[in-house]
Amino acid sequence: MTSSPAATHPPDLEAAAAALGGRLGAGSFAAALVLGSGLGGLADALAAPVVVRFDELPGFPRSGVAGHAGRWIAGRLEGRRILIQAGRYHIYEGLPRELVTAPIRIAAALGVPVLVLTNAAGGVRPALGPGTLAVLVDHVDLMEGGFPEAPSRAGRAAHPYDPELRRLAVRCARQVGIDLQERTYAAMRGPSYETPAEIRMLRRLGVDLVGMSTVPEAVAGHALGLRCLALSLVTNWAAGIIPAPLDHAEVIDVARKSAANLEGLLREIVRELPAA
């Protein structure tokens, strides 16, 4: 699944934000979109793209996970200027949360008002099979460690997902003929997939989807004042629901084959985002 990035000290975010802003050029962004495993195709649709790799900024390693390109792309989509983060860092790569959430803090420093997170997730319930799209209403954080962002605003982390943006996503999904589920996501540390016993536990906790990302970014973005929306594409049933073993290459393959619906939904959401 991974080829771990080199160990690194937390980057100088002020210097990194200045460097990225200088490369991307002047102008405000309507939103930042984080594209998860196998979901980077939307980046190729941007008009007048400007591309910067993660490791071109001081203190940032390359992304070490298959299916994660590890780059920022600024450009126009549906008439709006947006910043795409194609790929992400993960806790299971042995990286500190400060680095996992650093791209979000850079987006906030660049004045981005809306953060749209996407991920490839496992369906914890039999009804949530491959190809299902869901918007997150809540999460269960089963990763280890605390969050470094804005301790004085820690109370904000209780409800990181913006209800108005969630309603917008549901309305946009209806407009493009997608049955968008409103579901709860569990964030696990990884890198191994969950056992059948863990999946049974998650169901009893009220969890619908499971993955290894998104929650650190959502909590960080919310603490920094960004309005957060999170979307999951179910790429597999979780362990124990079907007898076949889980495989990361298959997850990426399903994500790529099913990404068209998510990309269509993201286009509609970007088009309908309220002006900053």
Active site residue 188: no
| 212 classed as catalytic | yes
What domain range includes position 150?
13-272
To the query of whether residue 139 is one of the catalytic residues in this protein, the response is no
| Catalytic residue flag (residue 9) | no
Is there a domain that residue 107 lies in?
A: yes
Task: Give the per-residue pLDDT at 145.
Answer: 54
Task: For residue 271, give both structure tokens.
Answer: 């088009």
- What distance in Å separates the CA atoms of residue 52 and residue 50, rounded to the nearest whole number? 7
Q: Which of 37, 63, 119, 258 is catalytic?
A: 37
Catalytic residue among 213, 232, 255, 263: 213
pLDDT of amino acid 41: 82
In this structure, what token pair is assigned to residue 198? Answer: 């863990």
Task: Give the H or E element holding residue 187.
Answer: strand 181-188
CATH number of the domain where residue 231 is located:
3.40.50.1580
120 a catalytic residue: yes
- Is 214 part of a structural domain of the chain? yes
Domain tally, the chain: 1
CB 87 within 8 Å of CB 71 = yes
Does 201 participate in catalysis according to the annotation? no
Residues with Cβ within 8 Å of residue 273, at least 6 apart in sequence:
30, 31, 80, 114, 168
Q: Which of 63, 119, 232, 236 is catalytic?
A: 236
Q: What are phi and psi of 134, to 5 degrees?
A: -140, 150
pLDDT band at 9, cuts 50/70/90?
A: low
4 belongs to a structural domain = no
Cα dihedral 254/97/185/207 (nearest 10): 120
37 is catalytic: yes
* 3 within some domain: no
List 1, 86, 93, 238, catalytic entry: 93
Given the residues 90, 188, 194, 223, the one annotated as active site: 90
- Mean pLDDT value across residues 142-166: 69
Candidate list 102, 108, 212, 255, residue with the active-site label: 212
30, 193, 248, 268: the active-site residue: 248
For residues 206-228, average pLDDT = 96
- Which tens digit of pLDDT belongs to each residue from 115-143? 999 999 999 999 999 999 999 999 999 98
> For the chain, how long is the longest CA-to-CA vector?
52
Annotated active-site residue in 43, 69, 120, 230: 120
Report the alpha-carbon distance of residue 258 to residue 256 in Å, rounded: 6
pLDDT tens per residue across span 29-59: 999 999 987 777 898 899 999 999 999 998 8
223 in any annotated domain: yes
pLDDT digits (tens, 9 = 90+) for 188-216: 998 888 999 999 999 999 999 999 999 99
248 is catalytic: yes
Q: Are 169 and 233 in contact (CB under 8 A)?
A: no
Q: Of 68, 69, 161, 169, which one is the catalytic site residue?
A: 68
